[in-house]
Amino acid sequence: MPPAITLRAATAADVPEILHCIRGLAEYERLAHECIATEALLRESLFGDAPAAQVVLADAEGETVGFALWFRSYSTFLARPGIYLEDLFVFPAWRGRGVGRQLLAFLAQTALERGYGRLEWAVLDWNEDAIRFYTSLGAVAMSDWTTYRVAGPALAALGAGRASAAP
């Protein structure tokens, strides 16, 4: 019989486990060089005066085996909030055991209970395993949309009104 998976809302005491999950995700996505998260930053941004996101941890056999980090989004077309899943990660030894499915089902249930209109996320285009998994759940790729990001020096320049028209 497979081990029981327990889902629970993270608390400030879980910050080291959350950081462990984030670093595991960064390695998997080949982006460890971009991961500057620290326990102090997570403690403030997740459990400070104005929490920016929520975290659900998946535990099994006395250890954290995965997590989902999400925040409330908003759809003007639906005129309702939604859930934006920023990160979903299951440690390799626990993949294929239903952990990811349970985390996503929890978020879907949360969205329904709160009257939210949707649950959405992004996936790296090379992550074929995740794409197959998401498709098997009924998720639909939003291939007509392209995600844009402004960060680092470009964010500072734009915020200061110095953004150039050319890349």
pLDDT digits (tens, 9 = 90+) for 92-134: 999 999 999 999 999 999 999 999 999 999 999 999 999 999 9
Helices 15-28, 39-47: crossing angle, 10 deg rounding: 110
Q: Are 111 and 118 in contact (CB under 8 A)?
A: yes
Q: What is the pTM of this model?
A: 0.91
Q: What pLDDT shows up at residue 100? A: 97
* 70 half-sphere exposure, CB direction, 13 A CA radius: 27
How far is Cα 98 from Cα 102, in angstroms, rounded to an integer? 6
Q: In this model, does residue 2 exceed pLDDT 90?
A: no
pLDDT single digits (tens) 40-55 = 999 999 999 999 999 9
Active site residues: 134
146-155 burial by CB neighbour count: b if 16+ within 10 A, else e? eeeeeeeeee
Residue that is written with structure tokens 């934006």 in the block: 84
Domains of the chain listed by start with CATH number = 6-142 (3.40.630.30)
Is there a contact between 57 and 7 (Cβ–Cβ < 8 Å)? yes
Q: For residues 19 and 142, give the distance between their C-alpha atoms in angstroms, rounded to a whole number.
A: 29
